[in-house]
Amino acid sequence: MRLIKYAVGSSIGRKQVVALTGLLLVGFLASHLSGNLLILFGPEAFDSYAEFLAAHPLLIPAEIGLAAVFITHIVWGLWVSFQNRAARPDRYEVNENEGGRTPGSATMKYTGVMTLIYLLIHIYTMKIQHVAGTSLWNHAVNWFEIAPYTLFYLFAMVGLGLHLSHGLKSAAQTFGINHPRYTPVIEIVGFVLAVGFGVGFGILPIWSLTVGSQL
Amino acid sequence: MNLTLRVWRQKDASSEGQFETYEAQDISPDQSFLEMLDAVNEDLIVAGKAPIAFDHDCREGICGTCSLVIDGRAHGPDSGKTTCSLHMRRFSDGDNIVIEPFRAKAFPVVRDLVTDRSSFDRIIQSGGYISVKTGSAVEANAMPVPKENSDLAMDAAACIGCGACVAACPNASAMLFIGAKVSQMALLPQGQPEREQRVLKMVDTHDAEGFGNCTNEYECMKACPKEIDVANIARLNREYLKATITTRD
């Protein structure tokens, strides 16, 4: 009973569900980015990796697990967000920050929703639209040649970086990790990872448009 | 100095409120913010109007009764200070000042700038106490407390329960308040017997009162007149997770 109440009916439990799924998604992002960076090594390297994944027997269970983590993170995150809105029905006339907010923390729900919109477009363009047996490398590079798509992609990656700049350190605090020795390190690691993911994914279209399209 | 005030006026909890503009004339820079409001109220009474209702008691920054959001900041522009300790020299002649009540679903407005913060009392009643008869003081060495823990417990116990953390929180969450109240007892031997049940009950009551969820923006810590550290929220999160796993309920 307590565990159900914890995950569904308590503020701290719900936050810890968001934090845990968020950390799992960071793990997914790390593997996804390392795979995607193979784009820079040309069509053979990237396509053989894509075909290896597509043929892997554990792909479907992994995708189901990943979808469950994504959906939990999104549903619980939005739930917390709506509750927070309801906790202050009458807004302030003057909104002045006390000095604790960061660009990442203040935009968390917006960057989250933006990442969700990007995710849906991403699944459609790169998974549903891609014809099996054809080069995924060509497919991806062709998409990056469409300017509005690439601009939205870059915009979404800035949003993802902002989301992570607060998400990682916030997850640590949510699990009770706040220590004068470790917290500054966690903040630096969180910031570096946020910038790393933003730049790492952001480099793909830039490389595709400058170098990749010449190959 | 002369100031223009925009003050939230609301007849009672069920009435619609609105901002009214008042001129505060001949205010001394040495007056406190509440004394400035007293002066404005004297003029309002002489003019036959209802004075502005606001909470106040000790007027020396230790009781947690005064509140107010001044120009968008709980307890005014200075950190580590209650409204009663804020002086008019912090403002300049001719300033426009917007004065609002603490805003949260769990802190309904009673009248004007007065809010009902009894939700904090109900959180304390649900678990923020020690139910043992202490008797006379025990021999000092009978109950060893590490110096670091006693310092941290003392820092947490500095919370005066004013509610500025809720007022400043973008989510109207009271996590800094219960973080402090759970911490001060979790860190000391006297708090151990009820440690698990305390945190579970206090968080349950916090949620039932309609406070929001903490998103670690740390606005609370910056607004807190007693500068309670958000490490207390981390401790609360740890205590809650631990109690959830180990409780036999």
pLDDT in tens, B37-91: 999 999 999 999 999 999 999 999 999 999 999 999 999 999 999 999 999 999 9
Cα(B109)–Cα(B103) distance, integer angstroms: 8
Count Cβ–Cβ pairs < 8 Å, chain A vs chain B.
Answer: 144
CATH architecture assignment, domain B3-111: Roll (3.10)
Of all helices (H) and strands (E), which one includes residue A173?
A: helix A147-174
Residue B196 has pLDDT above 90, yes or no: yes
Asked if the Cβ–Cβ distance from A174 to B237 is below 8 Å, we say yes
- Establish if A184 touches chain B: CB-CB under 8 angstroms: no
pLDDT attached to residue A214? 79
| Domain at B118-246: CATH code | 1.10.1060.10
pLDDT attached to residue B155? 97
- Assign B152 a pLDDT band (cuts: 50, 70, 90): very high
Cα(A115)–Cα(B59) distance, integer angstroms: 49
Asked if the Cβ–Cβ distance from A96 to B71 is below 8 Å, we say yes
List every span in chain B annotated with CATH 1.10.1060.10: 118-246
Specify whether the CB–CB gap between B202 and B237 falls below 8 A. Answer: no
Q: Give chain B positions within 8 Å (CB) of A6.
A: 244
Residue A173 has pLDDT above 90, yes or no: yes
Q: Give chain B positions within 8 Å (CB) of A15.
A: 213-215, 237
pLDDT digits 0-9 by tens, A25-45: 999 999 999 999 999 999 999
ipTM surpassing 0.95: no
pLDDT digits 0-9 by tens, B157-188: 999 999 999 999 999 999 999 999 999 999 99
- Closest to B221 (Cα-Cα) out of B182, B142, B143, B166: B166
- Establish if A178 touches chain B: CB-CB under 8 angstroms: yes
Cα(B68)–Cα(B53) distance, integer angstroms: 11
pLDDT attached to residue B132? 79
| Domain at A2-90+100-214: CATH code | 1.20.1300.10
Considering CB atoms only, which of B73, B234, B249 is closest to A1? Answer: B249
Residue of A3, A6, A11 to mutate, interface with B, max B Cβ within 10 Å:
A11
Residue A9 has pLDDT above 90, yes or no: no
* Minimal C-alpha gap between A161 and chain B (Å): 17
Cα(A138)–Cα(A59) distance, integer angstroms: 22
